[in-house]
Amino acid sequence: MLADAQDSVDRGPQGARTRLDLPFVTIDPPESLDLDQALHIERSADGYLVHYAIADVAAFVRPGGPMDNESWRRGVTLYSPDTRTPLYPQQLSEEGASLLPDKDRPALVWALTLDAAGNLTGVELAPKMVRSIAKLNYAQVQADMDNAAAHASIAALAELGPILTDQARGRGAIELPMPDQEVVQAADGSWQLSFRAQLPVERWNAQISLLTGRAAAQMMLDAGVGLLRTLPAADQQAVEQLRRVAASLTINWPPDASPGEVLSTLDGSRPQEAAFVDEAAGLLRGSGYTAFDGSPPEHAEHAGVGAAYAHVTAPLRRLADRYANEVCLAIQESRDVQAWARDRLPELPAAMTAGDRHDSELERACLDSTEAAILADRRGEIFDGVVVEVDDRGNRDATVVLTDLAVRARCVGPGLVLGTTVRVRVTEADVASRTVRLTVAR
């Protein structure tokens, strides 16, 4: 597989393409080298013009070759605190196909025209040769925008991002204002846990990816062939249950507001809000992939996005994106979808489900191990925690978050009421079994 990757890079991308001379930039975590997307936004007389360059992985990967076969086994890139297992070898994913700065790279460029209200009025897709002029990171971009010194290529993101966010809220999209629990390495080399809230620029940048995914989904639905990322709408019973939770936590929920609109008013800083957001996450369970060929599927929407949606913006890290992009490019060019992509569409949902499951299991194992390691020498100590989830069978078994340590663990004992602050004792912390247990402190 490594030889196949090196050969593909040495051979260069397949297919002739013209250069698109736009000053693209990338926005990623500082340590990232697998750069899938490069962005350029400009204001127009009627709104905005977004050019989104996506790494053209299919220009390197030979169908049926070693890299292709191994990518089907992996499904996604797996990330852990101290390493990552890439979907494609590093020669490709972090070098030859990555949209690194000051490098000519093949890309599939989405040209998205929007009016002033953020509505899509035009979509084009074309294979191009592009060059990123800067590798930016989120903290840097946020600081620049706060100081009115944003890079010219993305200055308009500060206007367009909030517009798209408001538009998503109007569609009933659901965004959880929940800080990410992360394993981070301290200055002394030890591993610690932290809760990190997303920066506004991260949410705005995500809206550009969602915008592209919505455009791709509509393109495939109109053509009757493709691969969607789908999530059934929450049933009314689940929404009503969440309303009751909101009432018990004194969360204001106007009668005509959607769950997404309620969540948009919270930041999760109060214990009651943290508990409500944790409960609301249940509305986003059950996502999957839906392949279709011949007619659109009966259930095409992603409830979390509030629209039909497809994964097309991370082909270096997700297997499905390479296939969905080929479908969209064929539709744009009014030609048949190449057989290597069309024939395997029905297999992708299972492959992606397996890859996503491995990713979730790895993330949970890393978090559980770190939680147990942090508390291994602190058994018997007492901490303050917030009850974020309560067992349906009563109030003696719950999930509690130790906010000072960013630890999330099961807790037993009396008086565990959703959204309250409790004093808990560490009774078990075993690294080998990745287990932490808490009890209510008397």
Residue 15 lies in domain: 2-165+176-232+286-371
Q: Is residue 171 part of a domain?
A: no
pLDDT at 268: 74
* CA dist., res. 14 & res. 12, Å (int): 6
- Tell me, what's the pLDDT at 394? 57
Query: Residues with Cβ < 8 Å from 245, sequence gap 6 or more?
Result: 251, 275, 276, 279, 418
**Residue-wise pLDDT tens for the chain (442 aa)?**
788 888 888 887 887 789 999 999 999 999 999 999 999 999 999 999 999 999 999 999 999 999 999 999 999 999 998 888 999 999 999 999 999 999 999 999 999 999 999 999 999 999 999 999 999 999 999 999 999 999 999 999 999 999 999 999 999 999 888 778 888 888 888 888 888 888 999 999 999 999 999 999 999 999 999 999 999 988 888 899 899 889 988 899 999 899 999 998 888 777 888 888 888 988 888 999 999 999 899 999 999 999 999 999 999 999 999 999 999 999 999 999 999 999 999 999 999 999 999 999 999 999 999 999 999 999 999 999 999 988 765 557 899 999 888 899 999 998 888 999 999 999 999 999 999 999 999 7
Q: Are residues 334 and 352 in the same domain?
A: yes
User: How far, in Å, CA of 123 to CA of 221, rounded?
Assistant: 14
What b/e string do you get for 70-99 counting C-beta neighbours within 10 Å, with b at 16 or more? bbbebbbbbeeeeebebbbbebbbbbbbbb
Decide: helix, strand or coil at residue 317. Answer: coil
In this structure, is the dihedral angle defined by the CA atoms of residues 115, 119, 122 and 128, taken in order, positive or negative? positive
Tokens of 222: 């109109």
H helical segments located in 224-258: 236-248
Statement to judge: residues 292 and 435 lie in one domain: no
Using DSSP's 3-state secondary structure scheme, residue 109 falls into: strand
For the entire predicted model, the pTM comes to: 0.93
Position 208 in a domain: yes
Same structural domain, 184 and 137: yes
Given a contact cutoff of 8 angstroms between Cβ atoms, the answer to whether 374 and 433 are in contact is no
pLDDT at 393: 59
Per DSSP, the three-state class of 382 is: strand
Please count the structural domains in the chain.
3
Question: Ramachandran region of residue 200, left (φ > 0), alpha (ψ -120 to 50) or beta?
Answer: alpha
| 214, 232, 377, 401, 413 from 299: Cα distances, Å | 15, 7, 51, 36, 43
User: Would you state the pLDDT for residue 248?
Assistant: 85
SS3 state of residue 314: coil
Q: For position 409, which CATH number holds?
A: 2.40.50.140
**Eight-state DSSP code of residue 96:** I
Report the pLDDT value the prediction gives residue 184, as an integer from 0 to 100. Answer: 86
Same domain flag for 275 and 294: no
